[in-house]
């Protein structure tokens, strides 16, 4: 789906298994809250690699299975040509994850996602510390454990909005 020429596009791409699909709704909501942004909500089952090139920013999500899912890793493995061409470099990007265990490696999953994004030369957008992080979220991205709470939704909306704001700033600089 092509973007309107005057819109900045944020792609929210995620493996929708488990709690991640619910968390993605809040990511999309936050990203959409910024004027001038078009959001492409793409569960892995309908994701198109070409949209990685067409978007202006990416928010990548995976369920926490003590790391990213094999499905997402397999899909992402086919982006090597984009790595070689550098087509994703300098785009803002962020990560989110959700899982059933508070000590099951959520931050490890976020770091694996961030590693994939950095490998493509993308600019990582995290979450600055707030008192909300005493109960929800991570510096590395939005999270949820066992269920998606109101605090988790707040963190996800904040992350989505931050990525949108950076994408808009960068699009103004490059035009």
Q: Kindly provide the residue ranges of all beta strands, DSSP E only, lying in the chain, ordered along the sequence.
A: 8-14, 37-43, 57-63, 92-99, 123-124, 141-145
pLDDT in tens, 18-39: 899 999 999 999 999 999 999 9
pLDDT in tens, 51-79: 999 999 999 999 998 899 999 999 999 99
Q: Which domains are assigned to the chain?
A: 8-174 (3.40.50.360)
Number of H helices, E strands in the chain: 6, 6
pLDDT in tens, 74-114: 999 999 999 999 999 999 999 999 999 877 889 999 999 99
Q: What percent of the chain has pLDDT over 90?
A: 81
Q: Confidence band (pLDDT; 50, 70, 90) for 126? A: very high
Q: Which residue has 């803002």 as its token pair?
A: 92
Q: How many residues does the chain have?
A: 175
pLDDT of res. 65: 86
pLDDT of res. 138: 86
Give exposure, 83-96, as e/b (b: 16+ Cβ within 10 Å).
eeeebbeebbbbbb
pLDDT of res. 134: 79
Q: CA-CA distances (angstroms) from residue 86 to 11, 102, 117, 149, 167?
A: 18, 36, 12, 37, 17
């Amino acid at each position: 789906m092509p973007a309107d020429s005057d819109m900045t596009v944020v792609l929210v791409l995620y493996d929708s298994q488990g709690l991640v699909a619910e968390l993605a709704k809040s990511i999309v909501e936050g990203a959409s809250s910024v004027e001038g942004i078009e959001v492409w909500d793409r569960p892995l089952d309908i994701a198109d690699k070409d949209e990685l090139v067409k978007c202006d920013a990416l928010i990548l999500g995976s369920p926490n299975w003590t790391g990213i899912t094999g499905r997402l890793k397999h899909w992402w493995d086919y982006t090597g040509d984009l790595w070689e061409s550098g087509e994703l470099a300098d785009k803002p990007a962020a990560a989110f994850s959700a899982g059933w265990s508070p000590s099951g490696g959520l931050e490890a999953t976020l770091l694996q996602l961030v590693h994939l994004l950095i490998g493509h030369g993308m600019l990582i957008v995290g979450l600055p510390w707030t008192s909300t992080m005493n109960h929800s979220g991570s510096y590395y991205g939005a999270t949820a454990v066992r269920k998606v709470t109101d605090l988790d939704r707040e963190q996800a909306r904040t992350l989505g909005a931050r990525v949108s704001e950076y994408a808009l700033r960068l699009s103004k600089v490059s035009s």
